[in-house]
Amino acid sequence: MKHILPRGFALGLVLAFLVSVNAQAEHHRATRLGNPATRFAPTMHTPDDLRARFQDEKLRPDFAEVLRQWGWTGDLADFFAAGLTNEIVEWQIPVGETMPFMSTREAGRPLCLRNVTWAGTEPISAYAFNFSSKGQQYRCVIPKPCSNFFVEDLGPAPQAGLAIDCSVPEKIIAGRKLRVCLTVHNTGNGVEPNAIATLALPENVIVTATTDGGCVTNNSVRWEIANLPASSTKQVCAVLKPVQAGPLVFNSTAASATVPSVQSACETAVLGMPAILLEKADDPDPVQVGSNTTYTVKVTNQGSADDANVQVVVTIAPELAPLSSSEGTISGNTVTLPVVAKLAAKQAVTYKIVAKGMIAGDGHSKFTLTSDVLKSPLNAEESTTVY
């Protein structure tokens, strides 16, 4: 249904109202501004005039009432503070633009008219300022002729945010390379211009490589991540070499000029690996019949973890006969050396066996090493010439 208002009525506007049953769907058409009877406040000529509107204690309740009628859910304190302090710019409302609402007055009372289309012959000259409230951005526009303001919702306010995750394999063998990766998340709604990710280095690791230009210091690796888009991630990695067994904990941080530091951590177990070396030698060689030679047997755990139940059994060649052993027992030509319950990493044990030359010939003595780690016995021979 179409309503034509009497001349001079309305708002400081000359309006034709097209009103639906639902008030939320009402539409208005404005063709002229500045009616002193219905304008929201006097005409503005300078930005200081706008500031004066927001300083006017009599106008503040009217601002609040118009916003209430519109259904605004922001904080009035933010709105008024912005009108007093935020940057004010020149603004133009083009012909044909529909504003979400516009304030006016009816019999002096503040009124909110929704969906007002400017149908004048020229753009409206106005002032505008932006502000944020409760996580949303807004623009307040106030036409100069009438101070009949409106507020536009510009969407979520810029919000910076970072998160970081650390990932590493659950376990690794000592001495092998290990890849530690950090994933930096931009949890904000704008581009993060320069995030810094830092990986603290525990002791006993060596950095062998980094991705994305990671900078290695004495105790950390640092990455600069430029222009990380909103709701996106960036992964950076370092390749490390642990030098000893044990747990390794990696602490990481992400921060920027606008975001406080956030932290994450991950952990791996560096597993040791036993590595058994059997060494044997005879001295002298050759040996004369009736003379003695000494076999030296040395077992070393060259690895990075303990081995257990380490034992060597020596079978002396028939050309010789065992006479004594620094440890162990002799039965015929077999010398059974003692069981080492635990042979720690880098630990060694040494034994001496004295044997006498009995028959001329090339004697081959056999050495058999067993342990919990060895899946099958380790066999070796030592050749001794008897003459």
Number of domains in the chain: 3
Q: Which two tokens stand for residue 124?
A: 């409206």
CA 300 to CA 290: how far, in whole Å?
Answer: 33
Domain closes at, from 122, 156, 190: 156
Q: Do 265 and 317 have their domain in common?
A: no
**Per-residue pLDDT tens for 190-229?**
899 999 999 999 988 999 999 999 999 989 999 999 999 9
- pLDDT score at 334: 97
3 state DSSP class of 61: helix
Same domain, 147 and 29: yes
Question: Do 146 and 170 reside in the same domain of the chain?
Answer: no
Judged against a pLDDT cut of 70, whether residue 134 lies above it is answered with: yes
The answer to whether residues 28 and 77 belong to one domain is yes
pLDDT at 138 over 90: yes
> Of 138, 156, 174, which residue constitutes the final position of a domain?
156
Residues 343 and 358 in one domain: yes
Residues 69 and 194 in one domain: no
pLDDT of res. 10: 39
Walk across the sheet containing 13-18 and list its strands: 2-4, 13-18, 27-33, 109-118, 98-106
Residues 6 and 148 in one domain: yes
The pLDDT mean for the chain works out to 91
Give per-residue pLDDT as tens, 10-69.
344 443 333 333 444 589 999 888 888 889 999 999 999 999 999 999 999 999 999 999
At which residue do the structure tokens 């922001």 appear? Answer: 74
3-state secondary structure of 65: helix
Note whether 6 and 134 are same-domain residues.
yes
250/201 Cα distance (integer angstroms): 7
pLDDT of 366 > 60? The answer is yes
Does residue 141 share a domain with residue 22? yes
The pLDDT, as a whole number, for residue 175 is 80
For residue 5, the model assigns a pLDDT of 34
Looking at the fold, whether 35 and 145 belong to one and the same domain comes out as yes
Q: What is the pLDDT of residues 163-199, one digit of tens each?
A: 999 999 999 988 889 999 999 999 998 899 999 999 9
- The pLDDT value recorded for residue 274 is 87
Residues 341 and 227 in one domain: no
Q: What is the CATH number of the domain that holds 369?
A: 2.60.40.10
Q: Are residues 234 and 360 located together in one domain of the fold?
A: no
Domain stop point among 156, 185, 220: 156
Query: Domain range for residue 59?
Result: 2-156
> Beta strand 334-336 with 329-331: parallel, antiparallel or unpaired?
antiparallel
